[in-house]
Structure 1
Amino acid sequence: MTHLATETEINPGHHITFQAFGMTFNADTIWSTVIAGLIVIALGLYMVHKMGDKVPSKIQLAWEGLVQTVTKQVEDSLGRVNPFVIPLAITLFAFILICNWLEMIPTDDKLVSPTADVNLTYAMAIFVIIGVHIHSVRERGIGGYIKHYFQPYPILFPLNLIEEITKPVTLALRLFGNIFSSGIMIAMIALFPTYILWGPNVVWKLFDLFIGLIQAFIFALLTILYFGMASEHHEEGHESAAATADEKEDVATPAAA
């Protein structure tokens, strides 16, 4: 067993790197990310091109069904959500799913799952959280944005602040940890004898496809929830104002009669 382990190196997290501007870049993560992004853009352009067709393609029907289902579920659960949030979440879902599945393409380790590199998952998480804070300021105003850190009680300010700081960390590490662990499992399966290698390899790759799907879904779902929470107090204010207006109208109606 020791001899077999020395022949099969387990190097999860090992990257092809290059140096530039005094920094080290993971080349395999970069080109895999670019390929995944180009696939998403190509799918988007294909959908736009097919919009004028009288008979929609199967891909178009599946995509439209996904968008409508997600929109309905979000509106039923969170109420009104800004129109840009759902397209953003679905785009992130498609991008992350493709990133997660890239490693399934047999290319002699030339293509890796870029989401198994914490640099990409942190970048996506920071992008989402910055967008959430900008959205929160626009919805609540500066005063309302600062005030929500002291709600429901001012003494909870430290906890609310820590929660906001840890959001991008947990969002990034949740995705990274699951995809990175799948790379470790694939490397460990390579230690099996050749004549039985195909069995566990097939089983794990099918399971890995499922894990990649679930992780992409969770990241998209949390994106929607974070944007929904950023508008929570704003929506409550509008509802209370609308209720007050309705009450005033009800009081005024008999008086006018």
Structure 2
Amino acid sequence: MTTEHGGHAAPANATEYIQHHLSHLRNADNTINLDTFWVSALLGLVFLGIFYMASKRATAGVPGKLQNFVEWVMELVNDTVNSAFHAKSKVIAPLAITIFVWVWLMNAMDFLPVDLLPKVLEFFGVYKLRVVPTADVNHTFGMSFSVLLCIIAFSIKAKGVGGWTKELFTAPFHAHGAMAIVLAPVNFVFQMIELVAKPISLALRLFGNMYAGELIFILIALLPWWAQWLLGGPWAIFHILIVTLQAFVFMALTVVYLALAVEKH
């Protein structure tokens, strides 16, 4: 038997509880996941605010904790960029830093207690909320589609429209004369498969890991309080590695894909 909260029924059993926590807050047309949009947007502002604050407080003397943290993040990302991307670009490093920190912040929302923010928002008449944007496949595909656009833009900038178009029909099977004409459709198909596979792999890898982590936290929340502490603590500690690793992998693969985009094949 369900109990009513503000006209909405509370989950009556484990199945309803899981379904409730896996349901998105959507707009009236049921076309936009508002929770994913607003949480990711707010975390983007948090990222910009932290780094802006660090830049204003930066000093050549003894750095503070915030400056040390930001410099450590920037050094980590710069090392990755320098080792994978050998062309000249003023965009790649800021892009990589933005991806790493923003994705990490979105992943880290998984550390909040499952019922914390949903219970808070119930006081404001909001009865559905998913707080991990990267556990929404729409969001991860949106980010990976942006990476795809960057791959195309970097390719055209490095090779020109003509050079990029030519590469679509001449690689990976380079040939000359009549054989080049015969292999052109085959090359184009393989190029399209490679181009499409990159954003799909980016999106599904991040989504799969974060969705699984979110689901495990929901299942742990169904256990008695002593079991939640017994199992939730170790899983949260292990999840720190997953959250950080997935943010790093998304960033590193983006850099590698952009590096491949500017290379001539």
The normalised TM-score by structure 1 is 0.80
**What is the aligned-residue identity percentage?**
31
Equivalent position amino acid for 1:125 in 2 = S
Match of 2:158 in 1: 139
Match of 2:138 in 1: 119
Match of 1:252 in 2: none
| CA RMSD in angstroms, aligned pairs only | 2.2
- Partners of 2:38 and 2:50 lie apart in 1 by 18
Residue of structure 1 aligned with 2:74, choices 63, 67, 82: 67
Residue of structure 1 aligned with 2:44, choices 34, 37, 43: 37
- Partners of 2:97 and 2:79 lie apart in 1 by 13
Please give the per-residue CA displacement for 1:35-54, whole angstroms capped at 9, x wherever unaligned. 21111111121122123564
- Determine if contact 2:26/2:33 at 8 Å carries over to the other structure: yes
Cα distance, 1:227 vs. partner? 1.0
- Determine if contact 2:23/2:130 at 8 Å carries over to the other structure: no
Match of 1:7 in 2: 13
Residue of structure 2 aligned with 1:16, choices 17, 21, 25: 25
Segments of structure 2 that go 5 or more residues without pairing to the other structure are 1-10, 119-128, 174-182
After superposing the two structures, state which structure 1 stretch, 80-89 or 136-145, moved more: 80-89
SS in 2 for 1:80: coil
- Partners of 2:197 and 2:83 lie apart in 1 by 28
- Determine if contact 1:103/1:111 at 8 Å carries over to the other structure: no
Residue of structure 1 aligned with 2:241, choices 186, 191, 210: 210
Question: Higher helix share goes to which structure?
Answer: 1
- Determine if contact 2:156/2:164 at 8 Å carries over to the other structure: yes
Equivalent position amino acid for 2:147 in 1 = V
Equivalent position amino acid for 2:205 in 1 = R
Equivalent position amino acid for 1:119 in 2 = N
Per the alignment, do residues 24 and 76 of structure 1 end up closer, same or farther by CA in structure 2, a change over 3 Å counting?
A: closer
The number of residues matched between the two structures is 228
Equivalent position amino acid for 2:172 in 1 = P
- Determine if contact 2:159/2:262 at 8 Å carries over to the other structure: yes
Residue of structure 1 aligned with 2:202, choices 150, 165, 171: 171
- Determine if contact 1:13/1:117 at 8 Å carries over to the other structure: no
- Partners of 2:85 and 2:146 lie apart in 1 by 22
The normalised TM-score by structure 2 is 0.78
Larger Rg: 1
